[in-house]
Structure 1
């Protein structure tokens, strides 16, 4: 073993540092690696922190900024960067897509504070794009056809986005759009502006995009309520419901998640229920493209993170509960009236729901998002 020649923390032997790093939680690991250059280099030689796959919550208090919450520890961490006036649109692991108060976009590692700047939204998009954005102040934009001054005001609060980041290479893809808009913008590493894609296209062709505006849309239809749901709906008042067609399982299956909130007409207590469905393509009508929906009774040994649109392997070691849905709110990807923040974990088998009341008592939250650091 190496000997310690001085009392400085930066001079701790490498084998001691490795042993220390391997015992830290994920968030403490990222704090420790920023102590000095020696600790940072040693962290690169460590297998990884304990709990690197535990689900965490990024909290956005009404007063501004953000906090990181570990449910397993019931502990709150404060990031290094000041995120006042920012909105968190989406994430890829520990990398979050952030819009500042003027709707400038960037990607940031919420642990190490490493930042990736993105092109400005108001830059005219690539050749072939037909829409432009003009900033109006307060993060809002005027959206118009290229060359025209008249357009439609787009509110910053209606900007939606998703991001993917490769942890090793830092390659990334960002997709963003304003709610109720017929096109999306995207950029990737190396781009200096956004490209534009119409949302009414068929992406399944091998030779590019096919315009399907005049063709029947390949849609999902509202599932019929089960007998249990009908019974509940008779006894309670449904105050909100939503459908998410953004969940891809580990096997590649696409799921529809139906969730609704109902309220007791006597106690006014709110409850939430979820239903998971898949398409039965063999019964698809070639004229109307109407699919048949089949309810999925169980997710098995997987957990569904609705904020991320994916399922992940359940793991008791990291606190990931099997056959469960991790949820925060309905309008993550599109504007839904009467949506409200409801941080919870829903068990499909028992129909039970777990919430986190300590968060409400400690913070006044305007938003929260589940994420898995790695």
Structure 2
């Protein structure tokens, strides 16, 4: 990956979206509510990258907004699906440290109506991404999750097959670096809720949560010793460490641990126990899970808030707590 993917040097924070409107910045390290951000009235929050928010307005247009300054940069798009319900749209965002490079991915995924497109800085229109290459590739059915890691897009299906797309090419082009053959991330228990995540080295992880016991996570990496994974019921190996990193599950990637910044090693920062693409209840549960001790750390100050949404983030640019 390029140097534009360097990690920020600030403590993780929380953007909180109360049901009565607005956006509030919370500092978990200090246990304080730092400031109220813009209210973004009439908009729905889709994704974030550092301070930048991807918003969908009432006219079905996408906007990228700096939450700290309310600056719109890049420019807003034209309406992308005015004939579709905005409630079923999902999105991803990556913005470089300089704020000059960005990638936006949006998805509309319902039975019989599945669309995915992306655009980058400098593009004049969206580029469509076919979700299905061939009718016989049934393992691609049911898009479950997306992770945007710089200019690479990771797609996971309900059958836990993963495709990796390189979106860094010229406008209108992208490359499937899995060569049209997704690789499975299959564990022994397919009944668990699952997400994928990407490490700083580009390794794909499978993150599982038991829907009947929301007190623990399981973490897996691809088993390199399996030569033909399509013949096996499980293709991953469980691990109990993030090798000195921490996972921001909301964003789908890991960052180096840093004691000074209160980024704890072998910890999973999350607001939900999994991140489905499909429409689902927010099911907010804002915690940090420690893989070594198998314990959860909660934030009692947030219990009194009537939240619609929340996201972990790392401040970018010159902004810090």
TM range (shorter): 0.7 to 0.9
Cα distance, 1:121–1:221 mapped onto 2, change above 3 Å: farther
Contact map agreement 1:65 1:85 (CA 8 A) in 2? no
Query: Where does structure 1 lack aligned partners over 5 or more consecutive residues?
Result: 1-50, 123-132, 142-154, 226-239, 264-270
Partner of 1:160: 90
Contact map agreement 1:89 1:98 (CA 8 A) in 2? yes
Higher relative contact order (CA 8 A, sep 6+): 2
Please, which of 33, 38, 43 is the counterpart of residue 76 of structure 1? 33
Q: TM-score, normalised by structure 2?
A: 0.75
Structure 1: distance between partners of 2:274 and 2:295 = 22
Please, which of 210, 220, 242 is the counterpart of residue 193 of structure 2? 242
Q: Which has the larger radius of gyration?
A: 1
Contact map agreement 1:284 1:291 (CA 8 A) in 2? no
Bigger proportion of residues as strand = 2
Contact map agreement 1:160 1:333 (CA 8 A) in 2? no
Structure 2: distance between partners of 1:101 and 1:251 = 39
Deviation at 1:313, TM superposition (A): 1.0
Deviation at 1:300, TM superposition (A): 2.8
Matched length: 272
Q: TM-score, normalised by structure 1?
A: 0.65
Structure 2: distance between partners of 1:161 and 1:316 = 32
Deviation at 1:204, TM superposition (A): 7.0
Deviation string 1:78-127 (CA, Å, 9 cap, x unpaired) is 445321232221122111111123332111111122212332243xxxxx
Contact map agreement 2:198 2:254 (CA 8 A) in 1? yes
Please, which of 81, 88, 91 is the counterpart of residue 45 of structure 2? 88
Q: Does 1:373 align with 2:315?
A: yes
Structure 1: distance between partners of 2:287 and 2:99 = 34
Contact map agreement 2:24 2:35 (CA 8 A) in 1? yes
Bigger proportion of residues as helix = 1
Alignment of 1:277-356 (within 5 A): 277-285=220-228, 292-330=235-273, 332-335=275-278, 340-356=283-299
Report the 3-state secondary structure (helix = DSSP H, G, I; strand = E; otherwise coil) of the residue aligned with 1:318.
coil
Structure 1: distance between partners of 2:56 and 2:165 = 31
Please, which of 75, 78, 84 is the counterpart of residue 120 of structure 1? 78
Alignment of 1:189-228 (within 5 A): 189-201=121-133, 218-224=183-189
Deviation at 1:176, TM superposition (A): 0.8
Structure 1: distance between partners of 2:165 and 2:23 = 39
Query: Where does structure 2 lack aligned partners over 5 or more consecutive residues?
Result: 1-7, 134-162, 317-321
Cα distance, 1:87–1:331 mapped onto 2, change above 3 Å: farther
